[in-house]
Amino acid sequence: MTIIYFIRHATSDHENHDERKRGLTEKGLNDCKLVTDYLMDKGIDLLFSSPYRRSLLTIQDFADTKQLNIQEIEDFRERKVDSGWIDDFKTFAKNQWEDFHYKLNNGETLKEVQDRNISALQQLLIDQQGKTFAIATHGTALSTIINYYQPSFEFDAFWHIVDIMPWVVKMTFDGTTCQHIESIDLFTNSKTHIY
């Protein structure tokens, strides 16, 4: 079995609209300790991350504590919304979840995001079969991965987790076949079966 802990980044600094360089708020930086504490006894062999700073920062404390390198994988990056910032994110997100081919002029569809994330994940499942590892990621990107295996995870489920940062999703695989998906809320220590 291969066990993967997807770590959705901690609270990011929305004053910075640069997707790649946006860091974490003070609360976000403090909450990274929750991630470290949770992962400490999970037998993590390897760490992977989106190349975006907020994801890297979220697992940096754990990486330093366990003396593990973080390997960046470009295809685990978050969905590109557009060239600029949009204010009505909820309406935009709902449009995308209702139509996986919907996008703004310079953005990505959820289908495109899902395809590249699943492709990267399946390559890791082949290359790192039988290992336990963590992947630092993003809310929309991770939600499209969950949706791939559990199609009932749609807009309402996504909107339920939109403000949960950091957020952990544990997935268990037999080869490349998903056996189990579990959501873990680090703030309440509650677990929810997804698949």
Type and span of the H or E element at 160: helix 155-161
Q: Which CATH number covers residue 102?
A: 3.40.50.1240
Look-up of token digits 């400490």: 40
* Mean of pLDDT values over 32-56: 98
Q: Which two tokens stand for residue 179?
A: 């056996």
pLDDT tens per residue, range 40-51: 999 999 999 999
Is a pLDDT exceeding 80 seen at residue 24?
yes
Type and span of the H or E element at 180: strand 177-185
Mean pLDDT of the chain: 96
Per the structure, the complete domain to which residue 76 belongs is given by 2-193
C-alpha span between 138 and 107 (Å, rounded): 16
With contact defined as beta carbons under 8 Å apart, do 23 and 154 qualify? no
Name the 3-class secondary structure at 184: strand
Check the CA dihedral 84-88-90-92 and report its sign: negative
**How many domains is the chain partitioned into structurally?**
1
Name the 3-class secondary structure at 32: helix
* Mean of pLDDT values over 117-138: 98
pTM of the model: 0.96
Name the 3-class secondary structure at 67: coil
